[in-house]
Amino acid sequence: MRQRLARVLGGVAILALVAGGAAACKKEEPTTPGGSTVSGLKIGFFGALTGDAAGLVTPGKNGAELAIAEYNAANPGANVTLVPFDSQGSGDKAAPLATAAVADEKIIGVVGPAFSGESEVANPIFDKAGLPIITQSATRPSLNSKGWKIFHRGVGNDLSQGPAIGRYLKDVAKAEKVFLVDDQSAYGTGLRDEVEKVVGAAVVGKDKVTEKQVEFGPVVTAVKNSGATAVFYGGYTPEAAPFLKQLRAGGFKGTFIGGDGLYDANMLSVTGKADVEGAVVTCPCGPATAAKGNFVADFKAKFGTDPGVYADVAYDLTKVFLEGFKAGKTTRADMQAFLGTYNGVGTATGVTYKWEANGELDPAQVSIWAFVAKDGAWANPTQLPKS
Amino acid sequence: MNFDDLIQGFPDLTTTGLAQGSIYALVALGYTLVYGVLRLINFAHSEVFMYGTFAALWTWGLMGYDSNSARPDLGTALLLIVVSLVVASLFSGGVAMVVEAVAYRPLRKRNAPPLVFLISAIGASFVLAELMGAFTERRQQGIPGLLPTEPLFSAGGWTVYPLQLMTFVVALAVMFGLDWFVSKTRFGRGIRAVAQDADTAALMGVNKGRVIGLVFLLGGLLAGVAAVFYSMKQGNTRFNVGFLIGLKAFSAAVLGGIGNLRGALVGGLLLGLVEAYGAALFGSNWTNVIAFVVLLVLLMFRPTGLLGESLGRARA
């Protein structure tokens, strides 16, 4: 009896699955087959949308959504959609997602991948398919030298951010003893190398931690014994927040500085107001809350929060693709050519987007900013000198 | 090799290593208890621990303390810790008993082969972790700082912080309590009897089902205690924190001799110390290499672990 019941239930479940699958497949059909060819185009958004690193990426996704909503409102019938690809910031998950993005022929451009590690996995796949990308936040310098024609970077790379951090340590923090820690990621190690070149002789110690590490006791001991007055961390918030917390618990009172990998709301909330106070982060992006035009008000109206890190950059980069659509660039090859000669000012960032042959943003347009944690918020945005 | 760091940092490394080792030991006891009685590696134990960290986080949240709160005075801090210890232990204990009832008991009733238990354990572990992941949106959550961060005392290069001392003392007290419970009380006798020979114990009137439930409950309670101290020490938690510490604690249990309560203590503390010294000597990225090489070498010479005696044969 019981077995039969199980079989019946199983049968019903399978039927439901098949029916559901069929219904889902039907939805995939283009809804507007006739009309202009511009309708129903898609833009991919690639990065960590869930998981620990999502704090750095979701504001950008919201920025992209806002740009598309505005475009669709202004161009009835365009029906552009944003297709999110949630990599959780991990290189392991990047390959299948990139393959899926490439397979969807309606996707003409991708904003992202947000991180350098996943870029190294996904970009070769995009390059092979000729799907143009503009990353809003993958800042490892070497990404520009891999021969990917589709690669474009909408911000300065760590060759500008790293030295700026080094100069901040030397000139602003006046640190004579610096301890360098990195997380051995493509981004963290790269940034550490650039900082080290500038700080040079002031380095009194170095250590490497790993992704998902939670216990930093030995590193804290090493920092204290080195007598360092400043600690640089190259990596991302999930490890940096507990590390900083344990540093403070271990009595470290000096400067703590990191790159844009730490410039998110989680760094503040996970570390906690008291322990994060005074921590410095840099970003090749200005404060999104001070973006130009109506961006801040529109963003707030749509999402109910202030725009976070890279929201304005992703918004402007999405608009570059949308301008391409408007100009009739509806294939990947046309879009790629369009980006090559693009020269326009982003309405939110005020940056003139113009790319060099290797996909880097015009160096004249790069600016690095520093932010200081104050009372549980990133405050005092200051543009750092270029040399 | 960086001997300077090791020598200069020796006192500090020892205290942090012992505090970390105490947490390993508390979790290791859960593995060892269940193994001693059932010859089963309860892989879901790491998630039982993880649920404890969230129970502590939520308890503090309900009492008005989140990661942005200012540190409370010592009295309030102690109250918060005591309340969270009670709540987290009960919560973890409850989760452990649910795991036993859902994932293991039905299999045991049908005399399933050991391999099935293993798969069921791994399955339970995934379900619990992903459930919490979905529920918390996989976010990393900060833990409020409670105890003062000024050193408790420092003398001759040795600096001890309140949290370190408290972790160590509570862990030791809990373990001596457990040791006493297992060796002296009637319930403890039941546990040892089932561990030695389940069928004979049943003939003597020991309720096997109840003993097994009790063992899971005990393991869960200890994991809850570990979770509270881990949370305060690490300053954050998320749905996947169980995995690494579970692996470490399990190794600690094997290192000390799985099935042996005192072995779990020795194994946990030793692993904590080896990690701390190893990290100083070779750099933090070598921590796990050093820890597991030491584990392998020790097991090569003492295959049953340092104190390799089973729970059943533990002398009262």
- Tens digit of each residue's pLDDT (9 = 90 or more) over A235-246: 999 999 999 999
Per-residue confidence (pLDDT) for residue B259, from 0 to 100: 87
Residue A9's pLDDT is 56
CB contact under 8 A, A249 and B238: no
In contact, A381 and A286? CB cutoff 8 Å: yes
Pair A228, A268 in one domain: yes
Does residue A61 sit within a domain? yes
Token pair, residue B91, equals 């919560």
Kindly report the CATH number assigned to the domain that includes residue A205.
Answer: 3.40.50.2300
Q: Is the pLDDT of residue A35 over 80?
A: no
Confidence of residue A6 (pLDDT cuts 50, 70, 90): low
Beta strands in A42-135 (DSSP E): 42-47, 81-86, 107-111, 133-134
Residue by residue, DSSP assigns B12-61 as HHHHHHHHHHHHHHHHHHHHHHHHHHHS---TTHHHHHHHHHHHHHHHHH
Within a domain: residue A10? no
Task: Identify the domain containing residue A292 by its residue range.
Answer: 42-157+288-355
With contact defined as beta carbons under 8 Å apart, do A246 and A119 qualify?
no
Residue A109 lies in a domain: yes
Helix-, strand-, coil-residue percentages of chain B, each rounded to 5: 75, 5, 20
**How far is it, in rounded angstroms, from Cα B237 to Cα A186?**
25
Residues A177 and A277 reside in one and the same domain: yes
Overall number of domains in chain A: 2
- Domain co-membership, A98 together with A140: yes
Average pLDDT, chain A: 89
Instruction: Compute the average pLDDT of residues A58-78.
Output: 94
For an interface test with A, which of B18, B236, B240, B244 has the most A Cβ atoms less than 10 Å from its Cβ?
A: B236
* Secondary structure class of A352 (helix, strand, coil): strand
- Alpha-helical segments (H) within A90-216: 91-103, 116-129, 158-167, 186-199
Query: What distance in Å separates the CA atoms of residue A9 and residue A27, rounded to the nearest whole number?
Result: 27
How many folded domains does chain B comprise?
1
Contact A107, A129 (CB under 8 A): no
**What Rg do the C-alpha atoms of chain A give, in angstroms?**
23
A50 touching B (Cβ < 8 Å): yes
Residue B88 is given by DSSP the state H
Task: List the domain range (segments joined by +) for residue B78.
Answer: 3-146+158-313
Provide the token pair at A384: 């750092």
Interstrand relation of A230-234 and A178-182 (parallel, antiparallel or unpaired): parallel
Judged by phi (left if over 0) then psi (alpha if -120 to 50, else beta), residue B211 lies in alpha
Q: Say what the ipTM of the complex is.
A: 0.89
CATH of the domain at B197: 1.10.3470
Structure confidence at residue A180 (pLDDT): 97
Of A361 and A12, which is predicted with more confidence? A361
A74 in the same domain as A169? no
- What's the rounded mean pLDDT across residues A293-313? 93
The whole-angstrom separation of Cα B63 and Cα A362 is 53
User: In the structure, how many helices (H) and strands (E) does chain A have?
Assistant: 13, 13
Question: Can you tell me the distance from the alpha carbon of A204 to that of A202, in angstroms, rounded to the nearest whole number?
Answer: 6
Percentage helix, strand, coil, to 5, in chain A? Answer: 50, 15, 35
For residue A153, tell me if it sits in a domain.
yes
Q: Any chain A CB within 8 A of the CB of B3?
A: no
Question: A227 at the B interface (CB within 8 A)?
Answer: no
**Would you say residue A304 lies in a domain?**
yes
Calculate how close chain A gets to B84, using CA atoms only, in Å.
19
**Quick count: other Cβ atoms within 10 Å of Cβ B118?**
13
* Together in a domain, A144 and A183: no
Mean pLDDT by 10 residues, chain B (316 residues): 83 94 96 91 95 97 92 93 97 96 93 90 94 90 90 86 94 94 92 90 92 95 97 93 93 91 93 93 88 90 82 51
Tokens of A96: 């299948």
The answer to whether residue A1 is domain-embedded is no
User: Can you give the pTM of this predicted structure?
Assistant: 0.86
- Going by pLDDT thresholds of 50, 70 and 90, the confidence category of residue A33 is very low
Nearest to A207 among B17, B137, B283 (CB): B283
Name residues 193-212 of chain A within 8 A of B (Cβ).
207-210, 212
